[in-house]
Structure 1
């Protein structure tokens, strides 16, 4: 029809009559199909490009949401970890202050030495919030020895042996765990029999740290004890090292045994702000 119009206004000149016959219809139908195919292909191409951009935007948005969610979860874990640590800290302070209070009237020198030991331990407990997520295990072992010295001032029979190979001193480990285990031994242990000495054994094999504590359980222990310290330690360990970590304890013939296993401990590096003093 367009051709007929152009012929009518003398834009197209023809030497023969322009008839609406079969040849005319087929020729123009071909042209129509050709342009329809071209325009459809262009439309599909543009639509595909728009959908591709939308998918890329959705994918990027989804990735950003995942990253944001992971950061939020990490912050929650960090906050919960700090809360658990805060629940542990007063454990050392209250017990020791009670000892110093009752010792002050009988032996000022022992009480004075106890204050010095306590100040070192509490400084370490307070500074642990600024040491990063992990510290050198040897740092905490040093403060555990200070803790034992503190309790030996109170009771000369309170002696706990630490057995460890030198290579574990540089292992990265979360702070206050070992101190809590040691304080738990002192709080609930019986040390009157020198033949049944309390021990803390350290073993490091195949990148797995194993800490075993063993002591005779005191007959005056509260059977309804909530074991808040040990439960908090277990939660902190699982937050940091995952489900592969295990902390189990048992009582056999009045001997309390605790076994802590932490696989892949070398994979947890020190933070930039770690204080390994």
Structure 2
């Protein structure tokens, strides 16, 4: 039987890949404004592969990251045995209601497969911003 340790990757590795993606996009003519807030100590923190990348790609695809006053936010918090990952971004004009949320649905299914009942994911929008919160305990 596959254990959860067989299904996860170090958070530090995921953040390195994210940093490379942000740097790649920063080289564009209109670089995105994104803030990454994460714990200084990443040892012994693991997530399912591509979790952080899927959340970031959703921001880049559907968000408006061109405004310095409304940067996209990727916040990672760790307290006791709980890992909370939150993203928030301004919705790109003409994107509200766009898409079929298949990326978020797939991510929800992957979380359930990897963590069973030990993870949750919420998405919401106020019409101006889109937010995702993933909690793993």
Query: Aligned partners of 1:169, 1:175: CA distance in 2, in Å?
Result: 16
Q: Report the equivalent of 2:72.
A: 198
Aligned partner of 1:234 among 78, 86, 108:
108
How big is each residue's C-alpha offset from its partner over 1:18-53, in whole Å with a ceiling of 9 and x where there is no partner?
xxxxxxxxxxxxxxxxxxxxxxxxxxxxxxxxxxxx
Aligned equivalents of 1:144, 1:159: Cα separation in 2 = 14
1-side partners of 2:13 and 2:94: how far apart? 32
| Aligned mate of 2:121, from 247, 258, 265 | 247
User: Which consecutive unaligned segments of at least 5 residues does structure 1 have?
Assistant: 1-70, 75-131, 264-277
Q: Report what 2:131 is aligned to.
A: 257
For residues 239 and 248 of structure 1, the distance between their equivalents in structure 2, rounded to whole angstroms, comes to 16
- TM normalised by structure 1 equals 0.45
Partner of 1:152: 26
The residue aligned with 2:62 is: 188
Aligned to 1:168: 42
Q: Which has the larger radius of gyration?
A: 1
Aligned length: 134
Instruction: Write 1 or 2 for the structure with the bigger share of helix.
Output: 1
CA, structure 1 residues 227+190, in 2 after alignment: closer, same or farther (shift >3 Å)?
Answer: same
Structure 1 segments of 4+ aligned residues over 4 angstroms from their partners = none
- The answer (yes or no) to whether the contact 2:33–2:72 under 8 Å persists in 1 is yes
Higher relative contact order (CA 8 A, sep 6+): 2
Q: Which has the higher strand share?
A: 2
Q: Distance in 2 between matches of 1:141 and 1:217?
A: 23
Equivalent position SS for 1:199? strand
